[in-house]
């Protein structure tokens, strides 16, 4: 899973899978869910993210995985 913030467009994309997206559905204004060919959720796109989520704080709790940080 990857969380990417793009300040130039104020958008946040959460990659939930490495599978390609083949379908997208806007579930509310500026929030789009991406699905793979089997109908599995693979990503979440949030426009105007700074007004919808706390982009300055991320808490990771009890994930059974390593956490990597990439400064950008």
With respect to residue 41, please indicate whether it lies within any of the assigned structural domains: yes
With respect to residue 66, please indicate whether it lies within any of the assigned structural domains: no
With respect to residue 59, please indicate whether it lies within any of the assigned structural domains: no
With respect to residue 10, please indicate whether it lies within any of the assigned structural domains: yes
pLDDT digits (tens, 9 = 90+) for 4-60: 999 999 999 999 999 999 999 999 999 999 999 999 999 999 999 999 999 888 888
Give SS3 for 7.
Answer: coil
> Looking at the 3D structure of the chain, how many domains does it have?
1
End-to-end CA distance of the chain: give it in Å, rounded.
17
Contact yes or no for 33/25 (Cβ under 8 A):
yes
**Full residue range of the structural domain in which residue 40 is found:** 2-51
Residue 31 backbone zone (phi > 0: left; psi -120 to 50: alpha; other: beta): beta
DSSP 8-state assignment for residue 72:
-
Cut 0.75: pTM above it = yes
């Amino acid at each position: 899973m990857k969380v990417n913030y793009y300040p130039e467009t104020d958008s946040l994309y959460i990659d939930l899978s490495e599978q390609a997206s083949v379908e997208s559905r806007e579930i509310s204004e500026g929030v789009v869910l991406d699905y793979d060919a089997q109908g599995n959720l693979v990503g979440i796109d949030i426009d105007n993210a700074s007004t919808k989520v706390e982009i300055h704080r991320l808490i990771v709790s009890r994930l059974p995985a390593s956490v990597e940080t990439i400064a950008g």
